[in-house]
Structure 1
Amino acid sequence: MSNKKRVFEDIDFNENSGKGDDFDDDDELSSGNELLDSDDEIMEEDLIEQEEQDEGDELKDMDIKDGEEEDNLPKKVWRAGVDKLEEDEVLDYDSTAYDMMHEMTVEWPCLSFHPLHDHLGSGRNKYPHTMYMVAGTQADEPKNNKILIMKLSSLHKTKYDDIDSDDEESDNEDEEDEEDNGDDSDDEAELSYNYISHQGAVNRIRAMEQQSHIIATWSENRQVYIWNIKNHLKSLDDDSKPPKITAPVHLVNHHQDEGYALDWSTKVVGKLASGDCKKLIYVTSATDATWVTDQTPYKGHTGSVEDIQWSPSEDTVLASCSIDQTVKIWDTRLHQKPAASVKAHKADVNVISWSKNVQYLMVSGSDDGSFRVWDLRNFKSDQPVSDFKYHQGPITSIEWNPYEESQIIVSSGDNQVTIWDFSLEEDTEEFKDTSVTNNDDDEDLQYPPQLFFIHQGQTDVKEVHWHPQIPHVAISTAYEGFNIFKTSNSEEQ
């Protein structure tokens, strides 16, 4: 996928008119029908005509009433790959489907971002939320690119738009919920940020889990930078001035081409792997005084390395995927060749994610819109545990939920972000009516039972992550900016 530059395409959505049918006023009924004679047949015809006219008036009155109440009808679920947006239509979301939903725009689109581990604690559920994250831009010119260091605060619970003000019980429940969460959902979310000038567009950005102020960026200028943003984060909390000029603490200049694959080890502090479009992987390690990048690359892929993931349990093990359609497992002690390899898909493999809760499970996403779950204990069989082909565009990002071992989140080029829950696989009785009729060609769009949630409304979604410390909160980046959301059904799992 990365042989061609991943750029954002400007696709406009316009406002939905939402207008009902127009009805003309009824023609005034003529009165005083003159009886020419007392013939019963003539009288009967006149009575029938009068009844038909009265019926027409009733039907027109009903139509007018229905038109007036059209805005109160249930919202229609838009089906990607089935329904089409008219020129005067735009997607809108149902607030009752979300516990929290916030949108954020920045100066330039961000291809990649990463939420940071912070000092506020894990497993926090009380609103309003605060979070930190870093992102890299794709500006109009290389010199205008930046690393954004952001603090998002006052992320309140979303206030339902459709609560009936006359429904006293609904109002009371909403007020009690806000009191329990210490939340005032009418307040606006707040964004404060600092930035670092960056040479070239940021293809990918990742923060170290153990020391979140250490981040790495893959630049389009073929270099990987390592940065210390400690003072930038500090200034967001105490309103002090950030450094005027920030230089990278290390530069990986071994790559002969740009790349997208980048990951920090969660087992070894300061160990970074980077893969490029020339099919090479390099490992960089922190020492007591400096950083050192191995001179010899890891070779084995025959095409661009698209993504890298370190093992969540083994110090020396990492995985990679490539446009050569394979996923490979590497052991740094072997160095020269992969320890295992499978042809994972029939098209480019764009992304992988290694489960931290079930450490023998990995998921891969492909250019053909499919994603597959792999059991690494039987990895050489070339047989995935599960194979899903729902999305109509390339899989651009995929990640296991750190708070729910059976869930993953997926973003795709079809402008959808989906959440999948594999624990629903056996609950087939709940999903008897999951087919959606396509009125255009009378075919059914089948929703798999594991499809837990669909989030839409963004154009050209590039990356999605779960927040590592706020359960079930997801963040996605697209051409227009960021969405931060939590589904209303997430606590049911």
Structure 2
Amino acid sequence: MHNLHGTEKDSGEEESSDEDSDEDEQDEQKKPQMELAMLPHYGGINRVRVTRCGDVSLAACWSDKGHVEVFDLRVQLEAVHNSAAMTAFINQQKEANALFSFTGHMTEGFAIDWSPTVPGRLVSGDCKKNIHVWEPLEGGVSWKIDQRPFSSHSKSVEDLQWSPTEATVFASCSVDQSIRIWDIRAPPNSMLSADEAHTSDINVISWNRKEPFILSGGDDGLLKVWDLRQFKTGRPVANFKQHSAPITSVEWSPVDSSIFAAAGADDVVSQWDLSVESCDVGARVEGVKDLPPQLLFLHQGQNEIKEIHWHPQLPGVLLSTALSGFNVFRTISV
């Protein structure tokens, strides 16, 4: 991405036509730009997750064919960063071959996550409730996948998240309305579970990088925060109902442990700050008293929002993907 600028307020003063012309040229130069290098893929892609393994960037893709494939992104990344490499890439572009493909899932799925603590370790879950852990082999171009899946969910596994601090622990959520915490050193059927964590399908979860919190979003439109120190109680420490349709994506800020964002099928992206407390001033403003004090911002204008992610290098910058395209924005409150 290039030429990203903040919005500017109009000074309100009259200016000459020459000055207007100069400003038009400057505005044209300020238009945001995005370079992209496509990687052709046979079949629909349900979800993509990317990691860095040594000097190689890898993308794991859940395919609607029921396969989980891993691709090497080095050529595409070089093309994005180098105009000469981009020209060569476009001229030579052809269907990419997967570095590795796993066909052991009996059906398609959506849940997938790379470990943030063990390079190359992956976990994938399918719509028939099975979860497989991938262990990287020496050389980083192949994986050993467990033959006995983690299968204690009774319905489709919708999302997976590795612990940011414990290398062998991951969390899962499911259509069976439960959130489960697993340790790959324990037997596959041994786990911690919050049953009936939501009143309907749980679509997405996010594990806070700095605090022992997990954020969840479901078809009920609810956002719930779970303190892992109190997980056995089965009760969340925070519960928010702002979205009017199922939650499609959630993610904690990588910079501020109290801030998170969520997206819903109501075509809204919301930003929240758990550290904010209610005050009497807001209660006197018409309409504000009905809003949660932790709600910072609502972003609209997209259709069928699928995922949101915080930019890892630019604090406060949020990216959202939707049927109508990409949005990249940063609010004044984050």
2:8 aligned with 1:155, yes or no? Answer: no
Q: Give deviations 1:246-286, integer Å, cap 9, x for gaps.
A: 21110011111110001000000000111110000011121
* Aligned-partner Cα distance in 2 for 1:185–1:430: 42
Tell me if 1:349 matches 2:202: yes
| Structure 1 equivalent of residue 18 of structure 2 | none
Which residue of the partner structure matches residue 44 of structure 1? none
**Greater relative contact order (Cα 8 A, min sep 6): structure 1 or 2?**
1
Q: Which residue of 2 is the match for residue 315 of structure 1?
A: 167
Q: Alignment partner of 2:214: what SS?
A: strand
Query: What's the CA shift for 1:159?
Result: 2.9
* 1:337/1:434 CA distance change after superposition, 3 Å: farther
- Alignment partner, residue 329 of structure 1: 181
Tell me the residue number matched to 1:286: 136
SS of residue in 2 equivalent to 1:347: coil
CA distance in 1, matches of 2:158, 2:286: 34
1:157 to partner: Cα distance: 2.4
User: Which one-letter code corresponds to 2:107 in the other structure?
Assistant: D
Shift of 1:185: 8.3
CA distance in structure 1 between the partners assigned to 2:47 and 2:12 by the alignment: 45
Structure 1 residues 52-451: aligned runs within 5 Å? 152-160=1-9, 162-165=10-13, 187-209=30-52, 213-239=57-83, 240=85, 241-242=88-89, 244-245=93-94, 246-289=96-139, 290-343=142-195, 344-358=197-211, 360-424=212-276, 426-433=277-284, 436=287, 446-451=290-295
2:327 aligned with 1:483, yes or no? yes
Counterpart AA for 2:302:
Q
Residue 210 of structure 1 and its aligned partner are, at CA, apart by 5.1
Q: 1:466 aligns with which of 297, 307, 310?
A: 310
Taking the aligned partners of 2:286 and 2:125, their CA distance within structure 1 comes to 41
- Quote the offset at 1:373 in angstroms: 0.3
AA at the equivalent of 1:236: V
Q: 2:39–2:76: 8 Å Cα contact kept in structure 1?
A: no
Shift of 1:191: 2.0
Structure 2 vs 1, CA of residues 311 and 369 (structure 1 numbering), >3 Å: closer, same or farther?
A: same
Rg larger for:
1
TM-score by length of 1: 0.61
- Structure 1 gaps, min length 5: 1-151, 168-174, 176-182, 438-444
Q: CA contact under 8 A between 1:209 and 1:264: conserved in structure 2? A: no
| 1:402 CA displacement | 0.8
Whether the aligned pair in 2 keeps the contact of 1:210 and 1:266 (CA below 8 Å) is: no
1:384–1:234 CA distance, 2 compared to 1 (3 A) = same
Asked if the contact 1:209–1:266 (Cα under 8 Å) also holds between the matched residues in 2, the reply is no
Alpha-carbon shift at residue 389 of structure 1 (Å): 1.3
5+ residue gaps, structure 2: 16-22
TM-score, scaled to structure 2: 0.89
> How big is the alpha-carbon RMSD for the aligned residues of Structure 1 and Structure 2?
2.1
Instruction: Note the alpha carbon deviations across 1:14-47, whole angstroms, 9 max, x for none.
Output: xxxxxxxxxxxxxxxxxxxxxxxxxxxxxxxxxx
Distance 1:446 1:334 in 2: 46
CA distance in 2, matches of 1:163, 1:330: 57
| 2: CA distance, partners of 1:338 / 1:476 | 36
Moved over 4 A (4+): 183-186, 209-212
Structure-1 separation of matches of 2:159 and 2:187: 18
SS at match of 1:226: strand
Q: Could you tell me whether the CA contact under 8 Å between 2:159 and 2:173 is conserved in 1? A: yes
For 2:131 and 2:138, the matched residues in 1 are separated by 23
Matched residues, number: 315
Aligned CA distance change for structure 1 residues 166 and 421 (closer, same or farther; 3 Å): farther
Q: Distance in 2 between matches of 1:318 and 1:188?
A: 42
SS in 2 for 1:190: coil
Tell me: CA distance 1:411–1:434, structure 2 relative to 1, closer, same or farther (3 Å).
farther
CA 1:206–1:230 in 2, change beyond 3 Å: closer, same or farther?
A: same
Could you say if the C-alpha distance between residues 319 and 435 of structure 1 is closer, same or farther in structure 2, counting changes exceeding 3 Å?
Answer: farther
For 1:12, the equivalent position in structure 2 comes to: none
Q: What is the CA-CA distance between 1:156 and the residue it aligns to?
A: 2.3
